[in-house]
Amino acid sequence: MSNFAAEPEWDKAVTAVADSTSVLLLAHVTPDADALGSALGLGLALRAMGKHVQVSVGEENFTIPKSLDFLPGSELISSPEELLVADLVISCDVSSSARLGTTLKLLETAPVSIAIDHHPSFTGFGTIHLVDPNAAATAELVLEFIDRLKVEVTPDIASAIYAGLATDTGSFKFQSTTAQTLRTAARLVESGIDHSKLSRLLFDDEPLAALVMMGEAISRAVLVTEAAGGAGLVYTSVSIAQRHGLDELAAERVIEALRRTTEAEVAAVFKQADDGHWKGSLRSKTSVDVGAAAKALGGGGHKYASGFSSSSDLETTIADLLAQLAH
């Protein structure tokens, strides 16, 4: 059972920011637009308050992925090796401390830390929790935090937050999208962002090498109709060599194409990380709880979108998932 405050601890978080002079914001390893957009959007707001702000990801020599390098606030990013000690550490979209990578010790040794997250599988690390599993994205919580800090939401801040909101809701297609989510998106558009450009860069802009990689991955897809109690599983894999020199995040896009498969309720993409381990990204449409399957395999996420990591070989990793989906 996850151990975190039942309601977001807004007052404690606002006080922690007021009492700080330097803030370190951490996104999860292999960051997506919700993790990095949330960290950068909040970082820009904190900088506007006069705080010394650093943003990082716990990967050696981290630099922003090319697929997200258009996000405002990227000048705040430092690699873990360059970080200075901060008196407040804030994690964004990090469901477990293991996903902090090499920056874990910085959070553990910080005088005060705030965890902002929307995963039901959040494990309860940190001293102050802004956690709401009903939020469509961590970006939604970050926007409320910025409002409570009484910082003006500029077009740059809004753009970073919109990137997180749009991607974690599948461009507002997923079940997590609510009327409040759409009202939030409307507010961000009204702030002056170029939502059309952001959407193109987030969803419709890929180097040719990435399109080739995705096409090859789809061509290797396997359909297991009897999986998940007959609901069906479609899966594929992308090894390091099959990435053609692209970063890990590039392989994340494969799942969004594979999940369209009519014959399968569940889609999975197994991606080999730079360290050689396999990571599974899972999606379901309406009836299978892939969050529970991922949690049983040491990962986590949501009912319809989740992930896990494995130290086993690819064949064993696939077999382990099939076994969990059979439960």
Which residues lie below 8 Å from residue 315, measured CB to CB, with a gap of 6+? none
pLDDT-derived band at 3, boundaries 50, 70, 90: low
Query: Among 1-15, 44-58, 83-97, 128-142, whose mean pLDDT is lowest?
Result: 1-15
pLDDT at residue 76 is higher than 80: yes
In the predicted model, what is the mean pLDDT of the chain?
Answer: 95
pLDDT-derived band at 247, boundaries 50, 70, 90: confident
Q: Are 45 and 165 in contact (CB under 8 A)?
A: no
- Does the pTM exceed 0.85? yes
Q: Which CATH number fits domain 208-325: 3.10.310.30, 3.30.360.10, 3.90.700.10, 3.30.70.940?
A: 3.10.310.30
The string of pLDDT tens digits covering residues 98-143 is 999 999 999 999 999 999 999 998 999 999 999 999 999 999 999 9
pLDDT at residue 248 is higher than 90: no
The secondary element (H helix, E strand) that includes residue 224 is strand 222-224
* DSSP state, residue 308: E
The string of pLDDT tens digits covering residues 281-293 is 999 999 999 999 9
pLDDT at residue 1 is higher than 60: no
Q: What residues form DSSP beta bridges with 9?
A: none
**Percent of all residues in the chain with a pLDDT value above 70, rounded to a whole number:** 98
The CATH number of the structural domain formed by 10-203 is 3.90.1640.10
pLDDT at residue 4 is higher than 70: no
What mean pLDDT is predicted for residues 218-225? 98
What is the reported pLDDT for 250? 87
Question: In terms of DSSP H, where are the helices of the chain?
Answer: 10-18, 33-48, 104-108, 138-148, 155-168, 179-190, 195-203, 208-219, 248-251, 254-258, 290-296, 314-325
pLDDT at residue 38 is higher than 70: yes
What is the reported pLDDT for 285? 95
pLDDT at residue 237 is higher than 50: yes
Q: What residues form DSSP beta bridges with 238?
A: 271
Q: What does the domain layout of the chain look like in residue ranges?
A: 10-203, 208-325
What is the reported pLDDT for 249? 83
